[in-house]
């Protein structure tokens, strides 16, 4: 007996793991409740028609909810917000005066650079003094070149870091968009599909009510 109970529980868990979207369970439940209600209230033409009408209304409502969900997933404004915006622009009999103000902003540019000045030796210096002066100028130029090289290397490193950060940001945005598209394809579409199932069964119940009554009797 214990093995039988355990086996039935495992079968229940196995059924719940069926590879279909959870929204379709609502469609199955709706159809099952409709069939049960027809069996409870009598298998008459009127019960079939009323049940079919309820299924059709539920299907239409579900399709509308699926469309609204898809719009919300893509950040589209809701119908309520659109109506509120439309009401706000209702033409007034006495429109208020419009005042325009213009503010000018002058933005400046700033930059940074290096300025090196040199001057030649005086006319009364000896040859050794002139050579020493020229060596000093060469030393200054070498130091300036070294600082310029360091600045260029640092600028290249910062530019590379900025490019890497931008690439990571773009990659994250692409992943987010892909997930949103996948969520939309597996969300609102499934909700609308449930509505289609309810509409299909409701149409059969409503359109073939006399035939279903005769067949079941």
Distance between CA atoms of residues 19 and 25, nearest Å: 11
- From first to last of its 217 residues, the chain has per-residue pLDDT tens of 778 888 888 888 887 776 666 677 777 888 888 888 887 877 788 888 888 888 888 888 887 877 777 777 777 777 778 888 888 888 877 777 666 555 544 444 444 545 555 555 566 668 787 888 788 888 888 888 888 989 999 999 999 999 999 999 998 888 887 877 776 666 566 777 788 888 888 888 888 888 877 887 6
| Confidence at residue 106, expressed as pLDDT on a 0 to 100 scale | 41
Give the C-alpha separation, 44 to 217, whole Å. 9
* pLDDT number for residue 103: 54
Whole-number pLDDT of residue 66: 76
pTM of the model: 0.46
| Cβ-based neighbours of 137, under 8 Å, separated by 6 or more | 118
The pLDDT assigned to 158 comes to: 92
Contact 54, 62 (CB under 8 A): no
């Amino acid at each position: 007996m214990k093995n039988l109970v355990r086996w039935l529980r495992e079968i229940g868990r196995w059924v719940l793991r069926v590879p279909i979207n959870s929204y379709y369970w609502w469609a199955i439940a709706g159809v099952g409740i409709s069939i049960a209600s027809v069996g409870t209230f009598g298998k008459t033409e009127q019960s079939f028609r009323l049940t079919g009408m309820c299924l059709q209304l539920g299907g239409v409502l579900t399709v509308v909810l699926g469309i609204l969900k898809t719009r919300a997933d893509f950040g589209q404004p809701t119908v309520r917000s659109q109506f509120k915006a439309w009401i706000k622009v209702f033409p007034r009999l006495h429109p208020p005066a419009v005042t325009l103000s213009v503010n000018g902003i002058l933005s400046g540019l700033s930059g940074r650079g290096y300025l090196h000045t040199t001057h030649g030796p005086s006319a009364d210096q000896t040859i050794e003094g002139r050579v020493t002066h020229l060596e000093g100028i060469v030393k200054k130029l070498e130091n300036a070149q070294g600082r310029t090289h360091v600045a260029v290397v640092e600028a290249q490193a910062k530019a590379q870091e900025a490019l890497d950060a931008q690439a990571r940001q773009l990659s994250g945005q692409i992943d987010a968009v892909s997930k949103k598209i996948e969520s939309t394809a597996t969300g609102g579409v499934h909700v609308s599909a449930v509505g289609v199932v309810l509409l299909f069964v409701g149409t059969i119940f409503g359109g073939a009510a006399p035939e279903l009554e005769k067949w079941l009797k």
